[in-house]
Amino acid sequence: MDHPSEIAGDPRFFLQAGPHTLNAVAAAAGAAVPADEGARMLRGVAPLQTARAEHVSFLDNPKYRPALAATRAGAVLIRPDLADAVPAGVVAIAAAEPYAAWAKVAALFHPEPPVTPGVHPGAAVDPSADIDPTAEISAFAVIGPGAVVGPRCRIGAGAVIGAGVILGADCRIGVHASLSHALLGDRVTIYPGARIGQEGFGFAVTDTGFVSVPQLGRVVIEHDVEVGANTAIDRGSLRDTVIGAGSRLDNLVQIGHNVRIGRLCVLVAQVGISGSTVLEDHVMIGGQGGLTGHLRIGRGARIAAQSGVMADVPAGAEVAGAPAQPVRAVFRQIAMLRRMASEGRRRPAPTSGEPQPRDPE
């Protein structure tokens, strides 16, 4: 079986659109091209290394300039200051933010498949559920009593929308995802296998064992949020768990009960946030970052990968390490340890009977 390498937009998996003129591609990118080149036809997108004359490619990171020099693409999205590096015969589409422009151009050639309205015969929909006629309900999906599925939503195969759950317009619920005790805004995407609204990790400790505390809150997910595959978001215990508008949660993220995440936050894979912690707007947390409960992370704070955060983080701060501390302090400590290790290697071994030097404090 043939396995072609570096195929972008394999037609077996991705919807195809076009061809498009270079003018149309530039317009999608918010840019312009020379008038005598505007009628050139482009048929798709491809990496610099494999693109041909009918493809558009992009360069954002100067590290890949050697690939740019050798590309055979028809056009390249590129920063204005690098446009002169585009080889002869390749049209430079100058964009202040090439990666964002690339996203729009790639969507031009490979748009999302349209919603196919209707309920699959194999789906289980409670008679009291309110399904907008423009929504798509796939095979083996389950829609519980009193649930509301808004206009143009797509519910994937085997997904479960629990009793009373509300989905706004244009939501995408992935295969085998499950939602309960949740209210979703518009244009929310829940990727496959995500679990939204289950009981939080709450219990009282007694002399005879653990007593589960009823989790009586909800999960509120605001507009334009994406929740990655196999991520889990617990419902609140008394207050709601809230995910702010525009935030992006990667795969395998854990959000505890009562957590409140602000607008446009980014949480990378395997981040874990304990109950009742608050993230203000524009917070970014690297992969495997862990936060204890009842903290406040200030607006625009950045938390490095694998950090262990055990105290509040001020607005705009950058922290790293476990326990997390300001990044500059971490780098100073690393530099000091390296100097100490280097000095230890250079120090001659003591002769017999000579007192051992003390380690620096």
> Where in the sequence numbering do the catalytic residues fall?
257
How many other C-beta atoms can be found within 10 angstroms of the C-beta atom of residue 121? 6
Q: Please state whether beta strands 20-21 and 41-42 pair in parallel, antiparallel, or not at all (unpaired).
A: antiparallel
Close Cβ partners of 241 (under 8 Å, ≥ 6 residues apart): 200, 217, 218, 219, 220, 233, 234, 235, 255, 256, 257, 258, 259, 260
Report how far residue 210's alpha carbon sits from residue 224's, in angstroms, rounded to the nearest whole number: 38
Virtual torsion, Cα 42, 45, 49, 53, nearest 10 deg: -10
- Going by C-alpha positions, the residue among 93, 91, 99, 37 that lies closest to residue 64 is 99
Read off φ and ψ for residue 27, nearest 5 degrees.
Answer: -65, -40
* Cα 319 → chain centroid: 21
Q: What are 219's two structure tokens? A: 């999960």
Element (H, E) at 327: helix 327-346
Virtual torsion, Cα 43, 45, 51, 52, nearest 10 deg: 10
- 194, 228 in Cβ contact below 8 A? yes
Query: Which residue stretches of 179-326 are H helix?
Result: none
Element (H, E) at 160: strand 160-161
Length of the chain: 361
**Residue holding tokens 């390249």?**
76
- Going by C-alpha positions, the residue among 242, 241, 240, 245 that lies closest to residue 225 is 245
How many other C-beta atoms can be found within 10 angstroms of the C-beta atom of residue 171? 26
